Chains A and B, each alone.
Chain A
Amino acid sequence: DAGVIQSPRHEVTEMGQEVTLRCKPISGHDYLFWYRQTMMRGLELLIYFNNNVPIDDSGMPEDRFSAKMPNASFSTLKIQPSEPRDSAVYFCASGWTGDEQYFGPGTRLTVT
Chain B
Amino acid sequence: SQELEQSPQSLIVQEGKNLTINCTSSKTLYGLYWYKQKYGEGLIFLMMLQKGGEEKSHEKITAKLDEKKQQSSLHITASQPSHAGIYLCGADFQGAQKLVFGQGTRLTINP
Binding site for B on A (CB under 8 A): 4, 31, 33, 42-45, 48, 50, 55-56, 91, 93, 95, 97-98, 100-106, 108
Which residues in A have their C-beta under 8 angstroms from that of B98? 45, 48, 56
Name A106's closest neighbour in chain B (CB-CB). Answer: B42
> Quick one: which of A43, A102, A105 contacts B101, CB cutoff 8 A?
A43
Q: Is the CB of B88 within 8 A of A43?
A: yes
> Quick one: which of B1, B33, B88, B103 contacts A100, CB cutoff 8 A?
B33
Q: Is the CB of A103 within 8 A of B43?
A: yes
Interface size band for B:
20 to 34
Known: A45-B99, A48-B98, A50-B97. A100 touches B45 (CB 8 A): yes
Binding site for A on B (CB under 8 A): 1, 33, 35, 40-45, 48, 88, 96-104
> Quick one: which of A42, A56, A105 contacts B41, CB cutoff 8 A?
A105
Name A30's closest neighbour in chain B (CB-CB). Answer: B97
Known: A91-B43, A101-B45, A103-B42. A42 touches B101 (CB 8 A): yes
* A21 CB to nearest B CB, Å: 14
With A95-B97, A105-B42 known, 4 other A-B pairs at CB within 8 A are A33-B97, A55-B96, A93-B43, A102-B45
